[in-house]
Structure 1
Amino acid sequence: CLLLLLHVGRHCLRAHLNPQLCVKNAVPLGTTAKEEMERFWKKNTASNRPVSPHLTIYNWSLPMVMSICHRGTGMAMAGAVSLFGLSSLLLPWNFESYLEFVKSLSLGPALIYTAKFALVFPLTYHAGNGIRHLMWDLGKGLAIPQVYQSGVAVLVLSVLSSVVLAAM
C-alpha cells in the first residue's frame, strides 16, 4: 500500500512539474569552485553590476581614525592587563624584584620617560574618548563640527595628561 502511494505521488509530481524547472538552478556536476567563481564574475561583468565599496575608497577622517584607535587601545590594554596578571602568577619573583632589575639596567631618563609615556597614553586616550562616547550616548555633541572639536580636545587632553603622568 505504501509503495503504491509513493508511486502515485511521484507520478503526480512529474506530471505537474516542468523538467526544466527541476534542473534550471542546479550546479552542473563535475565543476570546481574556481569554475563557479569564474562563471559568477563573468555574469556580473556582463550585466555591469557595481562592485561593493571597500575601505580603500573612503577618505579617512578624524572620527573614523579615533574610533579605530579607541578599539585598538581597549584591546591592547585588556591584553596587557591579562598578561601582567598571568605573569604575576607564573613568574618566580615579585614585582619589586623586577623593578630593581629595570633600575639596575641604568637606562637613560629619556628612555624611561618615553616608556612611561607609551604606557600611560593608551589609558588616557581610551578614558577621554570613552567619556566622549558617553556624551554621545546622552545625545550631546553629535553635530559634525562638534564631533571634530571633541575629537581634537580628546587628543590634546590625552597628550597633555600623558606628559604630566609620565613625568611623575
Structure 2
Amino acid sequence: MGSVVGTLAVIGAIALLAWAFGAFDKDDQGTQDIAAPPTTSAPATTSSSPSSAPSSAPASRPAQPNLPAGASPVNDAAISGQPAGNFNNVYLSGPTSAEFANNVREAYARNFLQTKQYNAVINAYSPVTHLNYTMDCRDNGQWVTCRGGNDAVVYIA
C-alpha cells in the first residue's frame, strides 16, 4: 500500500510541475510555450521543492515584464494580458506589421526548440512585403528583443 501511495505522489508531483511550468498551456493561436521545461528526476528525499531548471534557462522570467515604452501587444496572449515568461506574448514597436511580428516569434520559437539558445539570428517572412528579413534576437532575462528588416522591433516575452 505504501509503494502505491508513493508512486501516486510522484506522478502527482510531476503533473503539478508540468502544469506549473506551462507544459499544458497553449495560447489562443495554438502555439505551444517554448520556455525550457524543468528537468525532473525521481525524488530521493521528502523535500517539497521542485527540481531545478536546466542551466541554460534564466532563473526566473517575470510574468509581467516591464517592456519599453511604445511596445504594442500583437497576439491574443499579449492582448489579453496573459502571464509572460514562456515566450508566447508578442509585442511590436516601430514600422512593422502584426503578421510579421507573429512570424518573427514563430521563427524564434523554431530556432529555440532546435538549439536551446536564447540569443539568435533568425529569418522571418513578411506577408505584407512578401520578403524575408534577418532579425537579430537578444534576450535580456525579461524578454527577447528582435531587431532587423526595415527598423522593425519585435519583443517576445
* TM-score bracket relative to the smaller structure: under 0.3
Q: Which of the pair is proportionally richer in strand?
A: 2
In terms of Rg, which structure is larger? Answer: 1
Q: Which of the pair is proportionally richer in helix?
A: 1
TM-score by length of 1: 0.22
